[in-house]
Amino acid sequence: MGTKNYALLQVSCNIHKPSITPMKLDNLRALLSSSSSSQVKPLSKELERITTLVKHVPTMIKKTCVGVLEAFVDSTFEFVDQPLLPSQIGEAVGVTTIEGKIPEDFPIGVYVRNGPNPLFGGLKSTKSMFGKSSHVWIEGEGMLHGLYLVKDRRTAAWNISYKNKHVQTDTFNLEKVRKKPGFLPAIEGDSLAVVLAYLLNMLRFGEVNKYLSNTNVFEHSNKYYSIAENHLPQEIDIFSLETLRNWNLNGSWDRPFTSHPKKAPGTGELVVMGIEPKKPYFMLGIISADGKKIMHKADLRFNRCSLCHEIGVTQRYNVIMDFPLTLNIMRLIRGGPLIKYEKEGYARIGVMPRYGDADSIRWFEVEPCCVFHVINSFEHNDEVVVIALRACKSAIPGPDFGLDKFEWFSKGFQHTKDHIDENCDKFSTDDESFLCRVCEWRLNMHTGEVKQRILTGTDFSMEFPMINHNFVGVRNKFGYTQVVDSQASSISGIAKYGGLAKLNFEHWRFETSMDEKESQDLMKVEYHMLPNNTFCSGATFVPRIGGVDEDDGWIIMFVHNENTNISQVYIVDAKKFSSEAVAVISLPSRVPYGFHGAFMSLDC
């Protein structure tokens, strides 16, 4: 697009750029002392004593201590790369290779996708006398990939450019200055090695782990943010992709922040949550529509730290997902994993008045399962309806440490109808599957009854859902997901998405199994499948400006062809979903697979 077009967009949309401000840092002592255990108290007290001493020693002594710690880490811990496809980093480059035609009424804007792209080669593992520790597959510094679509209002010609840039969090900048890895991986591994990684990271950098900001991007009050749920969001200049500051609401929000905040229907307020493996485990917040202050904050008094990835909203309620994927520091210190899916644990969905508290939540017990993403939630008569993607097993963090990761992931992606029953509750073999199916829970606010039904079959596993954002929190007819290519995923050991699905919640089909013993009503699903060995990420729905129907718009997504090693952007007409893409835009460099994307309309 070039400097001229960036300047034109900045002037016409009048985007404000606030100054960079420091953020409040967490404390390891609080992380470890949140739970009472006679086995852990001595260690917790010793850590408290050490960190207190470090804070109060004179500067010269502190520098000497840090130097000694640095020398100890350098001589004791060996960093080892895990394989990862890199991305070429660069400034904006014009794009001219387009198959098809970008629709005339496609909105002017920026399509941005977030994803992990480690600063120093691949993800890191460490080896030491204390054991091994490693990053898990969802880690890696965040990188934003932006496709800019600008239309010349005089000639109606499209000017398109692509650029990418790392999200420059506090810890990213710290390691970049060092010019080498510094933070020891502290998520999975031998218990002693992980605990020491937390302690050494805290003593050397004042942080227990890196702030990755690699999961999602969102807009609120005409400002744009990058986020991963282990930290605060970073405000981004959407035109340059420069990182501006941490967004902590003037110090009123000092904890992690969900990767999927939701705008409340009607008010434009932003409903957020923050989870931590210390009390309070779950905090809910409501941010004003202008993004300037916290309107409400409540400790929901969880008795465990559930790895809740998403929150739901309706016109009157907040919807809380409390499922048995947990983070537990005490479990780690006792020799277990930090993150674990407890398939025998409880699962529940909470319905909470918008400005409610822990005492006002109505909890509904549901069958244990794994849910990362909510498609939508809304009110219908006496019920709150929650539609989400449900699996029997969590792909996060991965297998127990020491198991063959490739084999574990490959088995999980090889789902068939023989592996799993129709309710996705019990496995008919020892092989467990990551099969994600669309599930609906209807929660009756008067009787307390829960009705659950599975809405899709077992032909495809689906993830990374999206809807027309104008229907968040209200009854919707359509949803969209990325579709897992189980064969390619089982070969590579990571999830690869070979197409899209369009879900129609108002049209149903009656399906009978091959042995004619079971039958069920399933929703109508249309598919848009990609060419062989071609996979997508970051798909999102772009509404047509002035559109009347809910599906009046397009799906836009980053795509990579592994046969040609060419990355592209596809634009698919949502009303002609199974047809070929209306436009295919070839990009100048490889775009690695990533997580969530968003389209930021800049029609002013």
pLDDT > 60? residue 89 = no
Domain limits, the chain: 75-158+169-249+256-420+430-509+526-601
Q: Letter for the amino acid at 329?
A: I
Residue 565's CB is within 10 A of a number of other CB atoms, namely 9
Of residues 88 and 309, more confidently modeled: 309
pLDDT > 70? residue 516 = no
Nearest alpha carbon to residue 537 among 116, 44, 84, 119? 116
87's CB contacts (< 8 A; 6+ apart) are: 117, 143, 145, 164, 589, 590, 591, 592
pLDDT > 70? residue 519 = no
What DSSP string runs through 249-260?
A: TTTT--S---SS
Of residues 270 and 157, more confidently modeled: 270
pLDDT > 50? residue 36 = no
Q: Which residues are annotated as a binding site?
A: 260, 309, 373, 596
Average pLDDT over residues 508-524: 60
**Cα–Cα separations (whole angstroms), residue 207 to 27, 197, 414:** 7, 11, 39
Joined tokens for residue 169: 């969090």
- The CA distance from 476 to 504, in Å, is 9
Q: Mapping DSSP to helix (H, G, I), strand (E, B) and coil, where does residue 47 land?
A: helix
Q: Which residues are annotated as a binding site for Fe cation?
A: 260, 309, 373, 596
Lowest mean pLDDT among 230-244, 299-313, 507-521: 507-521
Identify any residues that bridge with 352 across adjacent strands, giving them in sequence order: 318
Residues composing the chain: 604
- The CA distance from 227 to 232, in Å, is 7
Q: What is the pLDDT of residue 75?
A: 83
Average pLDDT over residues 44-55: 55
Which range of 22-26, 28-32, 461-465, 504-508 scores highest in mean pLDDT? It is 461-465
Identify any residues that bridge with 100 across adjacent strands, giving them in sequence order: 583
Average pLDDT over residues 410-429: 53
Contacts 24+ apart (CB under 8 A), 330-334: 330/35, 330/37, 330/40, 332/191, 332/194, 332/195, 333/32, 333/39, 333/40, 333/43, 333/191, 333/195, 334/39, 334/40, 334/191
Lowest mean pLDDT among 166-170, 215-219, 510-514: 510-514
Phi, psi values for residue 60, rounded to 5°: -65, -40
Q: Please, are residues 125 and 79 in contact by the beta-carbon 8 Å criterion?
A: yes
pLDDT > 90? residue 288 = yes
Q: What is the pTM of this model?
A: 0.85
pLDDT > 70? residue 58 = no
Q: Mapping DSSP to helix (H, G, I), strand (E, B) and coil, where does residue 405 land?
A: helix
The per-residue pLDDT of the chain, averaged, comes to 85
Q: What is the pLDDT of residue 146?
A: 96
Q: What is the dihedral of CA 544, 16, 144, 338, to 10 degrees?
A: -110
pLDDT tens readout for residues 314-362: 999 999 999 999 999 999 999 999 999 998 899 999 999 999 999 999 9
